[in-house]
Amino acid sequence: MAALAVLVWLVLRHDADALWLPSAAGTGGVLVTTSEIERPAASAAGRAHPDVVRTEVELSGRGAARLRGRVTVHARPLADADAVRAAVDAAVRRQVTRLSGCELQRLAVRVKVLRVKQLVRYLP
């Protein structure tokens, strides 16, 4: 019984980084990897606020209807974390909705305001 449970888990987990995006007509769709949506979302997050130094976006979910995201933002020293969080949240939600056709169910934005000594590690 345990072996069967492991096999079922492996089958369900195999495409964990892929999303099924249904067509607007509902007659078909396309299977995309989450990285194809994460990269443009991270780019939009980086352009969302002038104090953003680096962003990392991780998406998960089974299907576009249950899509969730987590964003880690590294901001310049003395940046207003709340303003950066709000700008990045709006930009990532807008970009993911544009690409997938569905809104994010949940998005967690974590802003790390860097100190001056840390800044050199995160600059491009």
Instruction: State the Cα–Cα distance between residues 111 and 66, nearest whole angstrom.
Output: 24
Structure tokens at 12: 């369900």
**Number of domain units in the chain:** 1
pLDDT tens across 48-61, in order? 999 999 999 999 87
Domain harbouring 112, CATH code: 3.30.70.1350
User: If the chain, 124 residues long, is cut into consecutive pieces of 10 residues, what is the mean pLDDT of each piece?
Assistant: 65 65 77 88 96 94 78 96 98 93 91 93 83
pLDDT of residue 18: 78
pLDDT of residue 38: 92
Instruction: State the Cα–Cα distance between residues 2 and 123, nearest whole angstrom.
Output: 48
Is the pTM for the entire model greater than 0.85?
A: no
Q: For residue 19, what are the domain limits?
A: 2-122
